[in-house]
């Protein structure tokens, strides 16, 4: 976000006319400038106490020369610099877009797939920076700009000059608490693995909205960096293995920038796989009830036909047409109907007991047999 110039801010730096303020940091202030042809650039002016240090000027010139060899595809290209003037300054290409910290604060954490795309873009930018022999040492959400063509890394390589000045200067902070590596917090030598650790912390912030070691003062965060475990419980499942490898305490166990790029692309392809067909060994769940399935709305559900006899009378014409014109608006669309509850099977009561049955009369002997016996008796 571009703000106006404040009283005491310079109006001209080198050949660039300053028209606004972009921000500030530990090294100095960043202004929006315009070249003679009207091209926007970001001009960073070094603080006066750092400019008085001769060793800082030497290392600053060395890092600016190395930063000019870095490709500007995923970084802010160095346009011009002055390391020998009364106030050292650095001009880079202006990147139109919010920083990662502003985007997450305003829009919330990123989903898994955009976070993997961010990891791939930052890994490719770090690979170009490390190939030029430069170590960023201050990778944090405010130093990542989200441009329309992908993420851009700014302020690369310059923080190494600040680190060198902090050895002789008092009160200067090396790196950003919560995003620096353990070896950087302990004052040891740093290299490309230090940027990989910072990359894991930046990805955690992008996917969860907070750092992997929480919040607190600088000594508390430094202690957690060196001895504590990161909190990765809220990370998406597709991003967690990659971040765990980046946040390893041992620099030798962290992946390189090219390995992070390959892992992010593989995880992104896995997250974007088609899911129309069930996977092998995957069992489909029960199908919903017929009345609970989503139905397509009737093509005339939005058509309203006005009856020539006027509107229907409430309570009388409900359920039957009041004229030869049928008004589809009276009927509710099939998609808007509520699913009817599933009825239980009808219970049939047992039959009622009838009158008691009378006992059956005994059978009489056959008369023919009885007459036969009579004849035999008579004879």
Tell me what the mean pLDDT of segment 3-27 comes to: 85
Quick one: tokens of 240? Answer: 């967690």
Does position 366 have pLDDT exceeding 90, yes or no?
no
pLDDT at 286: 54
Instruction: Summarize pLDDT for 158-197 with one digit per residue, the tens.
Output: 555 554 444 334 334 456 788 999 998 888 888 899 999 9
State mean pLDDT over 73-94. 87
pLDDT attached to residue 240: 93
Nearest to 145 by CA among 62, 42, 235: 42
The enclosing H or E element of 81 equals: strand 78-82
Distance CA 226, CA 224 (A): 5
Portion of the chain with pLDDT greater than 90, in percent: 25
Give Cβ neighbours of residue 163 (< 8 Å, ≥ 6 apart): 137, 174, 175, 190
Cβ within 8 Å of residue 119, ≥6 positions away: 199, 203, 239, 242, 260, 264
What is the total residue count of the chain?
Answer: 379
Whether the predicted pLDDT of 212 surpasses 80: yes
Q: HSE (CB half, 13 Å, CA atoms) of 205?
A: 24
Distance CA 294, CA 290 (A): 9
How large is the average pLDDT for residues 136-153?
Answer: 89
For residue 353, pLDDT beyond 70: yes
Q: Of 80, 82, 84, 138, which residue is the catalytic one?
A: 138
Which among 257, 204, 266 has a CA at the least distance from the CA of 231?
Answer: 204
Closest CA to 13 of 124, 87, 105: 87
**In sequence order, what are the residues at sequence separation of 6 or more whose Cβ sits closer than 8 angstroms to the Cβ of residue 152?**
74, 75, 76, 95, 97, 125, 144, 145, 146
The pLDDT score that the predictor gives to residue 176 is 77
Position 368 confidence tier, pLDDT thresholds 50, 70, 90: low
> Cα 130 to chain center, whole Å?
27
Instruction: Determine the Cα–Cα distance for residues 92 and 90; give it in Å rounded to an integer.
Output: 7
pLDDT at 280: 46
Residues 306-347 pLDDT 10s: 444 555 555 554 444 444 434 444 444 455 556 666 666 666
- Output the pLDDT for position 329: 45
In angstroms, the Cα distances linking 155 to 134, 241, 326, 327 are 11, 28, 71, 68
Contact between 56 and 164 under an 8 Å Cβ cutoff? The reply is yes
DSSP secondary structure string, 289-332?
PGGGS--PPPTTTT--PPPTT-SPPTTTSTTS-SSSS--GGGSP
Q: 43 has which bridge partners?
A: 31, 91
Per the prediction, the chain carries an average pLDDT of 77
Exposed / middle / buried, residue 283 (Cβ in 10 Å: 0-12, 13-18, 19+): exposed
Q: Which residue has better confidence, 300 or 36? A: 36
> CA 260, 76, 142 angle in degrees (round to 5)?
70
Query: What digits encode the pLDDT tens for the residues 260-310?
Result: 999 999 988 876 665 554 444 444 455 555 555 556 665 544 444 444 455
Which residues are bridge partners to 16 per DSSP?
13
Q: Is 362 exposed, middle or buried (0-12, 13-18, 19+ CB in 10 A)?
A: exposed
Active site residue 138: yes
pLDDT one-digit tens code per residue, 216-254 = 888 888 888 899 899 998 999 889 999 999 999 999 999
The verdict on pTM exceeding 0.75 is: no
């Amino acid at each position: 976000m571009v703000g106006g110039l404040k009283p005491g801010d310079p109006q001209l730096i080198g050949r660039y006319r300053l028209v606004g303020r972009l921000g500030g940091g530990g090294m100095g202030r960043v202004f929006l400038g315009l070249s003679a042809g009207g091209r926007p650039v970001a001009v960073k002016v070094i603080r006066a106490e750092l400019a008085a240090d001769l060793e800082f000027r030497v290392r600053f010139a060395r890092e600016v020369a190395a930063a000019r060899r870095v490709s500007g595809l995923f970084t802010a290209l160095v346009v011009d610099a002055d390391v020998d003037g009364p106030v050292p300054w650095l001009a880079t290409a202006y990147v139109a877009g919010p920083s990662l910290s502003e985007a997450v604060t305003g829009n919330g954490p990123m989903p898994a797939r955009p976070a993997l795309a961010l990891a791939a873009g930052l890994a490719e930018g770090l690979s170009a920076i490390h190939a030029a022999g430069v170590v960023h040492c201050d990778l944090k959400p405010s130093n990542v700009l989200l441009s329309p063509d992908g993420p851009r890394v700014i302020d690369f390589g310059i923080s190494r000059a600040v680190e060198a000045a902090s050895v002789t200067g008092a009160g200067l902070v090396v790196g950003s608490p919560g995003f620096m590596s353990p070896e950087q917090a302990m004052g040891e030598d740093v290299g490309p693995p230090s940027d990989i650790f910072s990359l894991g912390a930046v990805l955690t912030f992008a996917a969860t909205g907070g750092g992997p070691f929480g919040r607190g003062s600088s000594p508390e965060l430094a202690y957690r960096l060196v001895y504590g475990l990161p909190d990765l419980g809220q990370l998406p499942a597709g991003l967690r293995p990659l971040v765990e490898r980046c946040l390893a305490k041992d620099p030798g166990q962290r992946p390189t920038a090219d390995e992070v790029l390959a892992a992010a692309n593989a995880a992104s392809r896995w997250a974007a796989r088609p899911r129309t067909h069930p996977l092998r060994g995957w069992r489909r769940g029960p199908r919903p009830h017929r009345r609970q399935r989503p139905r397509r709305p009737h093509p005339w559900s939005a058509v309203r036909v006005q009856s020539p006899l006027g509107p229907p009378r409430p309570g009388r014409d409900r359920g039957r047409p009041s004229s030869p014109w049928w008004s589809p608006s009276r009927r509710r669309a099939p998609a808007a109907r509520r699913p009817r509850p599933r009825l239980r099977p009808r219970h049939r009561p047992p039959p009622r007991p009838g009158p008691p049955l009378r006992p059956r009369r005994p059978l009489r002997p056959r008369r023919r047999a009885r007459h036969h016996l009579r004849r035999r008796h008579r004879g």
